[in-house]
Every structure is written in C-alpha cells, then in structure tokens.
Amino acid sequence: MSPWKGWAWAALLIWLGVVLDQGAAASFQIGPGRPAFALTFALTIALFIRPSGGAILGFAVGFAAGALSGVGMTAQIISTAIAAYLAAFAAKQPAELAPMPAAAIVAAAVLLARLGTIFVQPAGGIGPYLASASISALLCAVISLAVYPIARRIFQPKEA
C-alpha cells in the first residue's frame, strides 16, 4: 500500500474516531470514564508504523480534542503525540504483536496521555481524575481489540 493511501486511511479513521468521541462516547460511559475512540484508533495504527508517524497521529488527535474542548490544546497535543510515539516505539515496528499485548500498550498509552493533561483539566480532585483515566484506558483497550485486526490488515507491511 502506498504511503498516501495509508495516511488517507489514518486520517479517515481518526476523523471517524473524533466523530464517535463527540457523538457516541457518552453512551458507552462507565462510571466516570468514557472511551476515547480517536486516541484508540491513532494508538492502534501507531503500532504498525514508525514512532515519528505515530507522533503525527497523536498530534492530530490532540489537536482535534483540544480544538473541540476549546482549552488546553498544547497539553493535549504534546501528551497524545508523546503517548503515540511511545506506543509505536514499544511495538518495535515491524512486529507481529498479538492482540492482547497490543491492547495493553494502547491502555498504557491512553493512561499516559491522560496523565499528561492532568494539570490542565478542570479541578475535581486527583483521585476521580485517575479513576476516570483508568476506566478510559480499559475501555480503549477493549476497543483496540476490535480495531486491531482492521489496522493490521490496512497498515501492516506486506512481506515480500
């Protein structure tokens, strides 16, 4: 697959994720945590691309999240870009990750991204914020299990 086609797929999936974040995430909320579809899609794709590419996807997700929420764009961009970079790095691309370890990496990266924005979130106490981030990370891991086969089909380089 050509790089442009890959980026087009990534952009489409992130746009879909942002749409789901805005329109559907509340329906899947468990306790204080709700899934982050766009971040999950970006992190799952990042498992199949280079860390710099992952950072760009993280940047895009942080940019969209910051633009929609209207606050803390810098913190969101930096935290999600770093989280996606590290996720891609952790996957040691190219690698044949099984779905469960991939989900674990996604969950860890979501938690990291959430912790990165801890200082710009509205005050509500550190405990509830951590609970929300943990539940969100678990939900993202579950979603990534469903997204992982699709991402592998689209983004994993074909063996010669």
Partner 1 sequence: MLCVVGIALGGIQGAAKRAGRMGPTSRAVHAVVDKPSSLVAGGLQGTSDFFTGLKQSPQLTAQNRDLKARIAFLEAEALKTAAESRELDELRALNSLPVHPGREKIYGDIIRFDPFELRMTISVGSNSGVKPRLAVMTPEGLAAIVETVEENVCQAVLITSPSIKLGASAVREGGRVDGIIAGDTPNTLLFEVVRNAPVEVGDKVETSGLSRILPGGLLIGEVIEVTDAPELGSRLIKVFPATKPALSQQVVILK
Binding region for partner 1 (CB under 8 A): 15, 18-24, 26-27, 55-56, 59, 62-64, 66-68, 70-75, 77-78, 81
24 Cβ partners below 8 Å, 6+ apart?
37
Contact 105, 5 (CB under 8 A): no
> Which residue, 51 or 99, has its beta carbon nearer to partner 1?
51
In whole angstroms, the minimum distance from the beta carbon of 107 to partner 1 comes to: 23
> Which residue, 81 or 103, has its beta carbon nearer to partner 1?
81
Contact 86, 47 (CB under 8 A): no
> Which residue, 30 or 74, has its beta carbon nearer to partner 1?
74
Distance CA 110, CA 114 (A): 6
> Which residue, 81 or 105, has its beta carbon nearer to partner 1?
81
In whole angstroms, the minimum distance from the beta carbon of 58 to partner 1 comes to: 8
> Which residue, 1 or 24, has its beta carbon nearer to partner 1?
24
In whole angstroms, the minimum distance from the beta carbon of 18 to partner 1 comes to: 5
Distance CA 20, CA 24 (A): 5
In whole angstroms, the minimum distance from the beta carbon of 80 to partner 1 comes to: 9
In whole angstroms, the minimum distance from the beta carbon of 69 to partner 1 comes to: 9
